[in-house]
Every structure is written in C-alpha cells, then in structure tokens.
A and B are shown apart, each in its own frame.
Chain A
Amino acid sequence: EVQLLESGGALVQPGGSLRLSCAASGFTFSSYAMGWVRQAPGKGLEWVSAISNSGGSTYYADSVKGRFTISRDNSKTTLYLQMIGLKAEDTAVYYCAKDLGFRGTVPDFDYWGQGTLVTVSS
C-alpha cells in the first residue's frame, strides 16, 4: 500500500524557515517523480514544486522560486521541501504527492499525503 506521510509543518514568523519532509513507502520511490502542492485555507490547489525520479531535474512555481528548494533522498525514500523567507501568503496545507511518471513535468499525482499545515504569522 502506498503511503506518504508529511511532517514538519508549524507556526513560523514571517521571514523564517522551515523544512517539510515526506516519508514514502509501498512503491519504488526512486522510479517516480514527486511533487508538492499547497492549499491555502478555503482556497484552491496550487502546484508548488516537482522533482524527477533521480532528483536531477527540479521545477518551481514562480511564487516560490528562489525561496523554496525541493530535494529527495532515494536511499531514505523521503522527499523534502526547504522553505526560507516565508511570507504570510505561504500559509497553507502542504501536500506531498507521487507522480505517475518519472519526469515530473506532466503532472499526474496518483497518491497524496494527508497534508501538513504551515502557518506564517507573527
């Protein structure tokens, strides 16, 4: 059974940093691209970032480019999202998601985690 378990969400002050983790199991992690999608309270889905299966290619939404870094450790089957320079508008539930393919440029997310809440507020 595929499982994606996010962690690391917290209340952080504007300008602060946070690292989200997503522990994956139940599939061959190194064969699939992964992504992060966020949802602000009461709002729609926003694609944030994706990474290819090898980690060699990464992609970002303009709203987070230069502030967020996606990475993965295939030996630990874990996906990460390092966030710096956090803003109030980054407040959202962050979902980790598995892609159907390996490139990360489709995107077709067939499995999702339960989400972790990031709140940016003073």
Chain B
Amino acid sequence: QSVLTQPPSVSAAPGQKVTISCSGSSSNIGNNYVSWYQQLPGTAPKLLIYENNKRPSGIPDRFSGSKSGTSATLGITALQTGDEADYYCGTWDSSLSAGVFGGGTKLTVL
C-alpha cells in the first residue's frame, strides 16, 4: 500500500481537461513539496511539476499542479492522445525520513 493515494485510472476525451488527485497526510504532503511525474510506456519517468506548481523548462503549460492541505492535484488541459501514460505524485515523508510516491494513475485519452 502506497503512503500517497491516487485513483488507479482516469479518462477523458481529446481536447478535454482531467485532474488527478494525490492524498496524503500531515507528515508528507501537508508539510512538504509535491512533485508529479509522467511515465510513458516503456520509458523512464519524466518530471512534470515540482514544488507543488512549478514546471521544468520544456513542460507545456497544459500541465499544472496545486496543493491544499494534505492533498495535491495535477491538472492537464487540452488532452492529447500522446498524454496517455501513468502519472505519479511524490513527496518527502518527514516521519519516515524517506521519499514516497503515490501508486500511480493511468490516464486514458478516449
């Protein structure tokens, strides 16, 4: 069982918007930054969002992140078929003194 909880799957049509939630606790999300990763099939993960809502260079502004309390959300607008991937949230857990990831969410663009 992952320390961070994500929905196993989400789906939406091309051009639409989708959000992926990540729920934790005060020892992790509540007091630490959250990052989000995209993993396309057969490839290494790619950083999409760091420090809750910042995008690395090269990441389009269709991807956004937010955090409220002990939950975080990844938003993707103007969905494309190329966005089909697994998405993971990650953060530090101060009680564990370790990094933690969510279980991952599979995005299907119908």
Closest A residue by C-beta to B105? A44
Taking the nearest CB of chain B, how far is it from the CB of A112, in angstroms?
4
Say yes or no for A95: interface residue by CB 8 A criterion.
yes
Say yes or no for A61: interface residue by CB 8 A criterion.
yes
Say yes or no for B2: interface residue by CB 8 A criterion.
yes
Task: Decide if A45 touches B50 in the complex (CB within 8 Å).
Answer: no
Determine which of A35, A44, A113 lies in contact with B104 in the assembled complex, contact meaning CB atoms within 8 Å. A44
Residues of B within 8 A of A60 (CB): 98
Residues of B within 8 A of A47 (CB): 90, 98-101
Say yes or no for A105: interface residue by CB 8 A criterion.
yes
**Residues of chain B from 18 to 63 with CB closer than 8 A to chain A in the complex:** 32-33, 35, 37, 39, 44-47, 50-51, 56
Task: Decide if B50 touches A62 in the complex (CB within 8 Å).
Answer: no
Residues of B within 8 A of A108 (CB): 33, 35, 47, 50-51
Q: Which 5 A-B pairs have the closest CB atoms?
A: A47-B99, A112-B44, A44-B104, A108-B50, A107-B99
A contact set with B: CB distance below 8 Å: 35, 37, 44-47, 50, 59-62, 95, 100, 105-110, 112-115
